Amino acid sequence: VSGPSRSVPSDESQRESPRVEAALGRLRSAGERVTPARLAVLRVVDAADVADEHLTAEQIGARVAAHEPAVHRATVYRTLTSLTGTGVLSHVHLGGTATVYHLAHPARAVPANADETGTATHGHAHVQCSSCGRVLDAPAGVLDDVARRLRDDLGFELDTSHAALLGTCAECAQG
């Protein structure tokens, strides 16, 4: 009765996106377990990534709850922490106080990016409007010169994609 293996595993096993697939692979190679909760979180984050959205832990929790009511909020927090630790996810600190997550891009991995917290790179810097909260991607490399200068002047190794810069977007600027 344990379920005859039909051709279509009718489950919730909608074919995973290649990115989620890759993330799962990295998870397994890291010796971590693949669970429904983790899968749900990865799907939500991936979908948001594709839509260029930046979600906070709370928002991710809400969306996960919508798809998988069985997954508890606390688990989402724990999952975000562990997946970030494994390097499957990474986060960016936005202006105000929010931290948003996204799939880590191991491909475009940055040279010296051995941040203990698994804090990684989205590949590019973000700027956020303090007025409307919108988050924009900064042109690639905008911070390269700054990084070089900080390294030369202070010996400080800048992580260009870990924190967003604040300011006012075009729309809010002139209304």
Partner DNA sequence: CTGCCTGCAAAGGATTTGCACTCAT
Partner DNA sequence: ATGAGTGCAAATCCTTTGCAGGCAG
Q: Note the residues at the interface with DNA (CB under 7 A).
A: 28, 32-38, 56-58, 61, 70-75, 77-79, 81-82, 99
Residue-wise over 135-155: b if at least 16 C-beta within 10 A, else e? bbeeeeeebeeeeeeeeeeee
Q: How far is the CB of 11 from DNA (least distance, A)?
A: 11
What is the x/- site pattern for a second copy, positions 97-136, by CB under 8 A?
A: x-x---------------xxx-x-------x-xxx----x
Run of H or E including 91:
strand 89-93
- Phi and psi for 3 in degrees, rounded to 5? 95, 100
DSSP letter at 115 equals -
* Between 102 and 162, CB nearer to a second copy: 162
On the 0-12 / 13-18 / 19+ scale of CB atoms within 10 A, 67 is middle
Instruction: Give me the phi and psi of 127, to 5 degrees please.
Output: -125, 140
Minimum CB–partner distance for residue 148 and DNA (Å): 34
Q: In the bound complex, what is the minimum distance in angstroms from residue 83's beta carbon to DNA?
A: 9
Spell out, one character per residue from 76 to 95, where the chain touches a second copy: x when CB under 8 A holds, - when not. -----------------x-x
Q: Which two tokens stand for residue 149?
A: 């200068």
Q: Which residues bind a second copy (CB under 8 A)?
A: 93, 95-97, 99, 115-117, 119, 127, 129-131, 136, 138-139, 142-143, 145-147, 149-150, 153-159, 162-170, 173
